[in-house]
Structure formats: structure tokens, C-alpha cells
Structure 1
Amino acid sequence: MITSPPKRGMALVVVLVLLAVMMLVTITLSGRMQQQLGRTRSQQEYQQALWYSASAESLALSALSLSLKNEKRVHLAQPWASGPRFFPLPQGQIAVTLRDAQACFNLNALAQPTTASRPLAVQQLIALISRLDVPAYRAELIAESLWEFIDEDRCVQTRLGREDSEYLARSVPFYAANQPLADISEMRVVQGMDAGLYQKLKPLVCALPMTRQQININTLDVTQSVILEALFDPWLSP
């Protein structure tokens, strides 16, 4: 006599498989829903932060306009330079600090066209770096390499300057910019620069979208006096 296979056991296996598949689908859908909710929340927070920053910018411009009303010069005795302004928010506050963009040594002045073997801006940068307890040789290496990094050609024109051959030989090769800096952080890759010196230079230098060296001495503070010393080196000594 031929007996049929147990149908009850087979049905139980099918039910368990279906339950497992349904649980897997449910968990997957739940995870995707949580991800979508997280994305939506992040987008909302980003938009809120964007509006907060736009409001802070508007308040800063308003304060600056009031400070400079009927003023011919920009200086640190004006209200805009009195320190950070704080604006309360439901979950914190915004701090707005204004700083004169011309109270610094413009590194892009090195990009000025010149027929000199070494532009005046390079000599001034050497003087500035030397005043940060940097040996003269290293200061000259950094300043000349930065000039070679910024200038339009790819030829080494200075005694210590470095061009593409130096940077292409590194573990992560790259070409010199051969154009004005977009940000001062670019000088971190220049030959001779390190993190410690970069941190010392940050409050003193900038990368303005122009090649003129136009410093507002009325907005320099005491810690930036070395900029003036460097500009008039060697006639003005500390």
C-alpha cells in the first residue's frame, strides 16, 4: 500500500517560511521609513539653519551700515568692532563677529605681474614669517615656494622655490596652482610649511580676490603689529 507524505508538516514549514519573509519585508520597510524620516528631518534642519544664517547676515549688515554712517574711515573704535553680537534662538543662539577683510597680509599680492627677480611681496612675506621665530632659510623657502606656487608660469625663478617637479614627486601627486589662492588653506601644501606655522600665520594672512596689498592699518590689533613690521622691513624693526 502506497502512503502519501505528511501534509500537516509540509504546511507548517510553508507557514514558517511565509512568516519569515513577511518579517524580513516588514523590517526592511521599517528601516527605509526611518531613513526617509531622518533625511526629511535633516533637510528641515538644514533649511532652518540656512534661514538663521541669512537672518544673522542681514543683522550684521544692518549693524555695519549704522556703524559706518557718516564715517570716512573704518577703524576699531566703531560699534561693529566691539565684539561678537549674540541673537537668541529657540534652541540656542547665533554669535555674529565682524572682521575687516583688509586687516591682514594678502598672499595673492604675490601674483602681481613683475619683472623683478623677486617681488616686494615675497620679501615682505619672508620678513613676516621670520618674525614668527622661523629661521631665515626656512622663511625664504616658504615664501619663494608660495610665489612659485601662485605665479602663472611653471618655471622655477628663485633660488629656493619649488614648482611641479616637487609636488608631483609626493605620495599624493598634484600640480602647483599657478593662479591666485582661493583660500589660505592652500598654502599648507607649500614646501617648508607645517601645521604649527600654519596656525601662527592664520590670523595674519588672507587670500583676497585681488592682487593688491591694501592693508587697513586702522583695524589691525596689537597681535598683528608684525604685519606692519614686515611691510616696512628692514626700515622698521621690532
Structure 2
Amino acid sequence: MSRTPSGIYRRQRGVALVTALLVVAIATIMAVQLMGRQLYDIRRTQNLVEREQAQTFIRAAEDWTMELLLDDRREGDAVDHLNEFWAQPITPPPFEDVSLTIRIEDMQSRLNVNGLVGATGELVEPEALRLSRLFTSLDVDPSIVPAVADWIDPDTEVRFPDGAEDDYYSRLDPPYRTANQPMASITELRLVRDMEAEAYERLEPFLAALPEATSVNVNTAPPEVLQTIADGLSVDDAQALIDARPPDGHPDVADFMQHEVLAGREVAENLLAVGSNWFLMRVEVRLGNTALRGETLVFRGDTGTARPVLRRQGFL
């Protein structure tokens, strides 16, 4: 069959039309992809900028906190109590599209687990007693305390009868080893033998893992901690100690010890204080679509200096 010129022309025109439509479709797809990638890159850049700005606000809050704590020490005495400005929830003046909330906690209102073991690895009995009392009052088995000491002490000798060293942990699945050094974070307590998650949640608000041995500040400690300073103290006794606090705090430990609740009781007064050097700053920053939380452990020295010791950050 012969093909007429007009038929060939119609077929060529149809092929050209299909080709043109295909080119347009491909160009459209590429344009959509490029636009999507551009929007993604813009959003990613915006998120990075917002996060960088939020981190800057956290560092600024950290500097402000340290200056606030130093001013508190310079303007007053060595007494720290819960009626001071630093102990109140702090909301700075609002910035454009930014909300900032700061909380400062006295970490010497807690029991410091790293004080459980002395410099040469020996068990500090008064600290062990306080920790055992806290465990008991919160319905946690106090037999875990020797295992906590074994986790911290520098040797691999198991404390009798309830300690635990590498021989125990290496047989777990997965296996791991003891730290044999002070805890860097109280979360390490979850790794100690027989420490269940529920028990840890009850203990965590009253424990700290500070780099050095510390005393408990009787002006800021909650009743659960004050209950541990002597045998036989009830929750009501601890609350009575709190109710008797002067508005500006006890000026010294001797004044605190005058309370009738403590009469005739054996108290390790050298492990008590009315001032603090260790504080935890918690800050929340909301900026645009970014919500960031930061924590900084701050050490305020007696020589008029303050420094950050440990930082943590995460998204809300």
C-alpha cells in the first residue's frame, strides 16, 4: 500500500505533538522536583538557624545564671535558701517570637551518691546510712547500696554480701563493666545491679552525682532528704524541720540542730551545710518551630568564680 504525502504529514504531526507533550511533562516533573528540593533546603536552613539561635539563648541564660549566683554570694552571706531570687521560676522579658523559661535547682538539696566512697575507695559510713534510709523510705531495697559503692570505688573487690563487680556484670546480656570511678550522671544508677526502672524513678529526684563530696543544704533540702540525716525520723518530723526554717534560712548548722525533733539523735553535722556551691540550671527555649531544652551543672566557688561543669541539650 502506498502512503500519501498527506497521511505521512498527519503521522509526523502526531509524533511531534506527543514528543512535545512528553517534553513538557518531563520539564514539569523536573520543575516540581527542583521546587520541592528548594523548599526542603529552605526549611532545613531555617531549622538550623533557629536551632543555632536557640543554643545561643541557652548559653546566654547560662552566663546570666552564673552571674546571678555570683551576685547572690557577693551581696549576701554564705547562706542559700528557697526564698532567694535564684530559687524562683524565672521568665525573662519576652523577645520577638522567643519564649524563655529558666529554673535553678540547688543540687546540694540532694544526696550525692559520689560521696558514698572516700578518696582511697573506703566506704563513708554516714553517707551509706543516709542513702540506705532514703532507699528504705522510698520502698527501694537498701541492699543495693553496697553495689552502688562497688560501681564507684576504684577496685574490683566485691563488698560482702550484696556488692557487685565485673564478674557479675560481665555475665549479663549484654555484658558491661563497672565504672570504678565517680558517676558522671545519676542515670548511671540504672546500670547498678538490681536497680529497676520504677525504683530509679522514685529515687532520682533526691539524688545527685556531683564531681566531689558535698554536704546537704538544710535550707533547701526536701523532707525526703532531711528524713535521712538521723535514724527514726518520720515524714512528719522532716516536715517540722522545714516548717521551722527562718525566712532567710538557718544562719548555720548549729541553729538548725536546735530543733526539738533532733534532740538526742545522732546526726553527722559535718555532712550538713547552710550554703551551696553546686546548682543545676534548666532552660527551655521556644523559637519559631524549634523548642530546645538545656541543662547546665554550674559550680560556684567560694572565691567569687563560677563555671559550667556539664551540659546537656535536647529537643522538647
Structure 1 and Structure 2 fold alike (TM over 0.5): yes
Match of 2:160 among 154, 158, 162: 158
- Kindly provide the amino acid, as one letter, of the partner of residue 221 in structure 1: P
CA contact (8 A) 1:132 1:200 kept: yes
8 Å CA contact retained: 1:102, 1:214: yes
Q: Deviations over 1:145-198 (max 9, x none)?
A: 222222223342332222334434444333222221111111112222223222
Deviations 1:2-45, CA, capped at 9 Å, x for gaps = 75794334334433432333233222212221221112111221
Residue of structure 1 in register with 2:205 after alignment: 203
TM-score by length of 1: 0.78
CA contact (8 A) 2:109 2:221 kept: yes
Instruction: Give yes or no for the alignment of 1:194 onto 2:200.
Output: no
| Structure 2 partner of 1:224 | 225
Distance 1:84 1:235 in 2: 36
Q: Which amino acid aligns with 1:44?
A: V
Of 104, 110, 122, the match for 2:116: 110
- Once the two structures are superposed, the pairs formed by residues 1-238 of structure 1 within 5 Å of their partners are 6-76=11-81, 79-89=84-94, 90-91=96-97, 93-114=99-120, 116=122, 118-120=123-125, 121-134=127-140, 138-140=141-143, 142-210=144-212, 212-229=213-230, 235=266
Q: Percent identity?
A: 28
Give distance in 2, aligned partners of 1:157 and 1:30: 66
Q: CA RMSD in A?
A: 3.0
Q: Which has the higher strand share?
A: 2
Describe the SS at the equivalent of 2:92.
Answer: strand
Relative to total residues, which structure has the larger helix share, 1 or 2?
1
Cα pair distance change 1:16/1:67, threshold 3 Å:
same
Any stretches of 5+ residues in structure 1 without a counterpart? none
- TM-score, length basis structure 2: 0.61
- The answer as to whether partners of 1:104 and 1:227 remain within 8 angstroms in 2 is no
Shift of 1:123: 4.0
In 2, Cα distance between equivalents of 1:86 and 1:157: 48
Q: Alpha carbons of 1:227 and 1:24: their partners in 2 closer, same or farther (altered >3 Å)? A: farther
Please give the alpha-carbon distance, in whole angstroms, between the structure 2 residues aligned to 1:162 and 1:86: 45
Is contact 1:87-1:94 (8 Å) kept? yes
What is the DSSP-based 3-state SS (H/G/I as helix, E as strand, rest coil) of the residue aligned with 1:97? strand
Shift in Å, 1:204:
1.4
Change (3 A) 1:235 1:79: closer
Residues 1:168 and 1:115: Cα distance change in structure 2 (over 3 Å) = closer
How many residue pairs get matched? Answer: 228
Q: Which runs of 5+ in 2 are unaligned?
A: 234-264, 268-316
Distance in 1 (CA, whole Å) between partners of 2:216 and 2:157 is 30
